Structure formats: C-alpha cells, structure tokens
A and B are shown apart, each in its own frame.
Chain A
Amino acid sequence: MSTLLQQKCPNCGGSVSFDTGAQKLKCPFCDSEFDVEAAAGHRTPDGAAAAVDNISWESDTSEWTTDETTGMRVYMCNSCSGEVVADETTGATSCPYCGSPVVMKGQFDGALRPHLVIPFKLDKEAAKKAFKQHMTGKKFVARAFKDDNKIDEIKGVYVPHWLFSCQAEGQVSFVAEKTTKRWSDADNNYTEITEYDCYRSGNMIFDNVPVDGSTKMPDDLMESLEPFNVNEAVPFNVGYLSGYLADKFDVDATSSMPRANDRIRQSIADNLKKTVDGYDSVTTIQSNMTVLGGDYKYALYPVWLLTIKHKDKDHVFAMNGQTGKFVGNIPTDTKKVKTVGALIGAGIGVALWAVLNLIGLI
C-alpha cells in the first residue's frame, strides 16, 4: 500500500505541482500560482481531513504460456517504433498508428497476459461505412481526406487498457455563498452575501475505469471512444487475436494509476458538490480521496484504426469495435474557412448596409 501526498489548488481543486522556474506551486488546470508556505497554510474546515489521498491498487497478474505465444509474432515499425502483435497467419505489413511499413521483430515473448478481452463486434466493412458517415456533412475538409482509397487501410487493433475498480471515498471542502439580504438607499444598492465552509464526504463504487496502456494511441482519442461495455468482455483467449493486430502495453499499471485517480476524484467531487445545495455559488477548495479495495485488470479493447498522413502529420481516426462510435479530428482547411467566412461576411455586410440605407438609418 502506498500513500500519496498531494497539494490541491484552492481555486479549482486540481493537483498542483512545484514549478522550479517560478519557485512556486502551480496548478496545471487553472494556471494559478501559490507560495509553498501560503498553500500549506490554506484553511481547512473543521472536520475536513488534510489533503492527503490514501490510494492503493492491487492486481492478480498472470503470464503468457508458451503455447499461447508460439504462434504469435511481433512486428516493429521503423518509423514510430510501435510494436504490434499478430498471429502468424494474420501477419502485419503496415503500422496501424502511422501507416509506415513494419518488419517482423521475432516471436512474441509477452510478459503480462491480459485478464480480459472485448471481442470485435463490428467488422471492417462497418468501420469503412462509419468513416464515410463520419466525413459526411463536414465542411472545409482538406482534400486528402476525401480520398476513399485510404479507407482500405483501416485496421482492427486490440488496444491495451488498464481497468481500475474500487470503492472510493472522497472528502471535499467547498466555499458556498448565498445572497441573504438586499437593500438600497439614495446612492447605492447593497447586497449582503453570506459565506459558508461546506464539507462533504461520501463514497462511490467505480467499475473498470479504463486507462489507455499504449503510448502510441492518443489518450484523448481513446477516451473519446468510451464507453466500452466491459460486461461483454470475456476472459482472454489468444484465439480472439486471430485476424487482428494487438498492441503491447508500454505504459504499465503504476504509470496509469494517476490518470484513473484523477478521473475518479473528479467524479466524487462533482457528485459531492451536487449535494451542496441551497447556495448561489459553490467553489471547490480542496478534495482528497481514499481508495478501498482497489484493483486493476489488464484488458484489450477492440478498435478500428485509420491513419491518414497529411502535411507530415499523422491523423488518427478510430472506431469503437464494440459500439461503433467513430471519432477523429478532421483536419480543416483554415484558408478555406477564412476565405468562405470573408465571402459570407462581405455578403452580410453589403446586405446590412443596403438595409440600413433603405430604412434610413445611415
């Protein structure tokens, strides 16, 4: 069990870190800066615990068996150094992340064996259809993204995820305000505002909060694909990998925990904040969290990936292989946005001028 001491931002409740340049604590969420001593002296309401998180995560791990890895091959991308796993019958010719050719590195010698896998429910045709649907109606799309030829390069990839489950208890301090009186005299309006220190604690159970375990897969892209339905996950069997690529995790569970903690903490804070009612405004001052019975699992999530290179940059589109949710930022032709905007604007401007002239305002 490990204990993590975190200082909270008094403005937004986010975790602050020490900025060596400014020699101050800095909040990465709201850019507030605090003196270390001042932040340490920030008042805590009676009954509120200090801003100390008490978090522990545990897991039962298992290893791959020799039988399982015999038919598995590891391919490496010389461009982005990404490694993917495929069975010997599937093979791999290009990297699902950057589209560059891959070379076989050798036989797979996996370390941790996934606990769960959510099998692909949607095939490649569904993914291609979803991509076309995704592009429909979009304006100012760069020409390269209108090329249907790229669609065939869409690949099914099992993306490694760490799934964190726990009962989490949160203690959150708020400052709440409400207007208690209003009056006026000849010169001024007066508003009496009463402030309260509010404290809430409570617990919630979280099931399978996912954190992407691959550095090659953008975290925000994977989170945009959520939610996956873990109830449909099955115990891992190498047979599910047949016909698909699989990524090996390169972000371990310990490195993934802070992200899970942040999301869980924010959820608790949000839910506890909703119980601070009857006030005009509520501001979170600090929060801390205790994780009880936290465990994590290693799982593979099914994702259809399409990478399109445009202006030396990889643009990744992804579809949830289970639910069909399709995401991906479509590069926008900013020149076209400005040009069309200017033309529309000129039309509006001239029409406005004509109308104002007509009604005699100018």
Chain B
Amino acid sequence: MKKIITTLLVAVFALSFMLIPASADDFNTLDPTGLLTEDEMFALEQLAVDIEEQYGYFAMICFAENTDGYETILDFGHDLYDSFSDKKYAVIFVDDLSQSLCDFFVSENYEEYVFTHDVTTAIFNAYNEAETYYLGAVAFYNGVASALENAGIAASEETTAAEEITDAAAGTQDTTEAPEETTEFVKTERLLPLVVDNADILTDEEEAYFLERCQAFTDEYKCEIAIVTITDLEGKTAQEYADDFYDYNGYGYGENKDGLLCLYLDGEERQRNATLTTSGTAQMNIGDDEIEDILLAIAGSAKFGEFKDAFDWYIDLSEEAVKPVPPLFWLLICLAVGMVIGLIITNSMASKNYSVHKKETAADYVREGTLMITGRNDIFRNTRVNVTPKPKSNSGKSSDSNGSTHTSSSGRSHGGGSISF
C-alpha cells in the first residue's frame, strides 16, 4: 500500500513538474520547452503586469508541451488558473504544442461580454499569423489589453474589474431600459476587415475584389460598407447578429459610426438569409424602401449561388442610396422654396389692392331683436361607424429617420431589414 501511495505521489509530482515549471511562479508566460529567450520572457511579463495594473485582470499564456491527463485544453487552463492566480478574473491562453491546438480559459464566464467569440477569433488569428512564438504571445497580450480597453474595464480600488463587468453585463441584458450603460462595450476601432467570409462562399479572388470595392466605397463616401458571411446565428436573430457584429467589432466610419453591413447566412438545411444593418448617415440615407430593394436584389442572385452578383448589387444599390446629392441640387431646392415664399408674400401684399366684394347676406339690415324661432325639430336619422386603420408600427421600432429604426443590444440605434429565401 505504501508503495502504491508513494508511486502516485511521485507520478503527480513528476506530472506537475513536466507541465508547470517551477520558474513560472514569477512569470505570466509559461515556457517549459524554452521557446522564448530570457529577454523575451521579461518583455512579455511587462505586458502581463501592465494588464494587471491597468485592468485588474490576470492574463497568462502557456506554451504547453502537451495537455495529457486533461480532458480538454480548457481544463488545463483552469488548473493553471487555480495554481497561479489569486485574481478572480483571468484570461489564460494555452497552446498545446503536441496537438497544435490552442484555446482560451476565461474565468467567471465573462467571455460573453468581453472575450466574445469575435474577440477570441481575432486573437487566435493574430497569434496564428505571428511568425514567432514571442510575437504570438505579444499578439495575445495586446489582444487582451485591447479587448479590456474597448470594454471599458479598469482596475480601481473602489470597484473591481469584475464588478464593472457585472454592472455592464446587467445593462446589456436590459438594453431598452438603460442602453447608454452598455455602449461602452462597443468597439471604437474596427477589429475585422470589411469582408469577413466565415461561410467561405466567396473565392479568394472575389474576397479581394469585394474588399477593394468596400474600401473604395468607404473612402469615397466616408461610410463603411461591410460584407459578412456566416453559417450559424449562434442563437441570435439575424438582425441581432448583424447589429452586434457591427457594434462589437467596431465597424462604422468616424465618431457617428457611419456605415452598413450585409450579413449573409448560409446555414444548414438551406437556411439562407440576408440581413442589413445600417448606422449613422447610412441609417439616415437608406430608408425602408431602399433596404427592401437591396435585400430583394441580394436574394435574387444569392439563391442561385451567384454571390458575386448578389454583393455587387448590394454595393451598387447602397451607393445609389448614400451618394450625396450634388450641392447645386440643394441650392435649387432652396431657391424654389424661396420663390414660393416670395410669391406668397408679394401676392399677399397685392391682395390688399382689392376691396370690392359682393355681399352674400342682408345681415346689415336685420331689425335688431326680431329673430323669432317658430319651429324646431331634431330627428334621429341614422348612425354610421367610420373605421380607420391604426398606423402600423413595428415592435420596438420608430420612424424618426428615413426608415424604421431599432435599438441593438449595445444600445445603439440601427436601421435595417432582413430577408430569408
């Protein structure tokens, strides 16, 4: 029995030593296989310390030789969290070198609000595109810092990061009551390109082509236009997904976040949907009728698999809608309005030149007090009911812009529409 217990203790000790180097006690970057130089380790440590000081968040990256003994990489990350962090809130990135698999562990399940799928995807992509492990680690720490910054998380004595997140998360769930509380989560800078083909329905050439067109559109009209394709709505409605994708990935030009995004869903069982979300000047300029036209044009081509045509229609029709009216046109409109007002004024002045009017009655010649009513009879004739249809109002929408508007989960106002086919 003693032998068994001793063997188990040795095994556990050996395993712990293999996976979690003792030297890691002082570092947020775990590198048991020696991929990083000492200088690189110190540089990365500084980034982690900055995050902890600035945001109150424990960030760690681990280049694990393997995660044997753990069911998932997340379990491994959880173990790291328990071993190294006394912080309640942490984000740990684990790269299982043996399987070439990476995953995030995020404490307290706040990934929904800060480390969303889009944020972690962006960090994964940045990590994968890095040429060295060191640069990958830098991308991880920068991505974490950026996400916390954009989410408005800050360390303070009075309120912990977690409390801020909790408050903000509560606001997110009740956006209609206090939408302004959640706008902090919206990205201020765009994190993703103007064309995101997650459904992989565009060829590389087409993707490059639309990226160029979207960029040209954005540059010319100071209004971002984006194309996003997906295969799953992740439990949201298409409109919610499009709005959130737009807001939380920082789409939109300038402070007003002017722009529009076309979300194309190429789901399972031929579930196809095109959704537009508009914001800022695009919301003002693209009304319900234009949105309907754009969606019909997209659907008309997309249902035959002609995605290039579909998105060409989308960009062409959007361009028609947001294209600014020539300044001369407004001058002519103002002149026309002025002319009408001017003629009303002069005709009103000229009308004082006319003082001859026929008299319709002999009211001036009624002898005072002689009116005597001799008969009076009021008889019910009939009753009729006038029916007036109530103005149609879409739930949660108002029409204070060119078209109907709604409020996204971030609290922002959007226009838009959706079509399934």
Contact B380 A194 (CB under 8 A): yes
Contact across chains for B337 and A349 when beta carbons are under 8 A apart? yes
A352 to chain B: which residues have CB within 8 Å?
A: 334, 337-338
> A41: shortest Cβ distance to chain B, in Å?
17
Interface residue range, chain B:
35 or more
B362 & A346 in contact (Cβ 8 Å cutoff): no
Alpha-carbon gap, A159 to B10, bound state (A): 136
Of chain A, the residue at the smallest CB distance from B344 is A341
CB distance from A315 to the nearest CB of B (A): 10
- Confirm or deny: A353 has a beta carbon within 8 angstroms of a beta carbon on chain B: yes
Residues of chain B in range 332-363 having any CB-CB distance to chain A below 8 Å: 334-347, 349-350, 352-363
Give residues of chain B (36-56) contacting chain A, Cβ–Cβ below 8 Å.
none
Among residues of B, the one whose C-beta sits closest to the C-beta of A330 is B353
Residues B379 and A192 in contact, CB atoms below 8 Å apart: no
Interface assignment of A149: CB less than 8 Å from any CB of chain B = no
Asked if A108 is at the interface (CB within 8 A of a chain B CB), the reply is no
- A220-B356 contact in complex given A180-B383, A206-B365, C-beta closer than 8 Å: yes
Distance in angstroms between the alpha carbons of A350 and B335 in the assembled complex = 6
Summarize A's interface: helix, strand, loop or mixed: mixed
Partner of B338, one of A206, A260, A327, A350: A350
Assess whether A140 is in contact with B346, with CB atoms less than 8 Å apart.
Answer: yes
Q: Do A341 and B330 touch across chains, with their CB atoms under 8 A apart?
A: no
Within 8 Å of chain A (Cβ to Cβ): is B34?
Answer: no
* A247 CB within 8 Å of chain B: no
Q: Which residues of B contact A175 (CB under 8 A)?
A: 381
Asked if B383 contacts A349 (CB within 8 A), the reply is: no
A40 to B383, CA, bound (A): 25
- Knowing A267-B362, A275-B376, A350-B334, the reply to whether A338 touches B343 (Cβ < 8 A) is yes
- Interface: A184 (CB within 8 A): yes
In the complex, B100 has a CB within 8 A of chain A: no
Question: Is B374's CB under 8 angstroms from A201's CB?
Answer: yes
- Given A193-B383, A194-B383, A223-B358, the answer on whether A346 and B335 have CB atoms closer than 8 Å is yes
Q: Once the chains bind, are B334 and A340 in contact (CB under 8 Å)?
A: no
The answer to whether A349 and B364 touch across the interface, beta carbons within 8 angstroms, is no
The residue that A200 contacts in the complex, of B334, B367, B373, with Cβ under 8 A, is B373
Q: Within the complex, which residue of A138, A180, A199, A260 is in contact with B352, where a contact is CB–CB below 8 Å?
A: A138
Cα distance A352–B338 in the bound complex, in angstroms: 8
Between-chain CB contacts (< 8 Å), 18 pairs: A47-B377, A139-B349, A191-B386, A194-B380, A197-B381, A202-B375, A204-B372, A223-B359, A226-B359, A331-B353, A337-B350, A338-B346, A340-B346, A341-B342, A341-B344, A342-B342, A348-B342, A352-B337
Known: A134-B355, A138-B352; 12 extra A-B contacts, CB below 8 A, are A45-B377, A46-B379, A139-B350, A188-B390, A193-B385, A195-B384, A202-B371, A207-B365, A267-B361, A267-B363, A345-B343, A356-B334
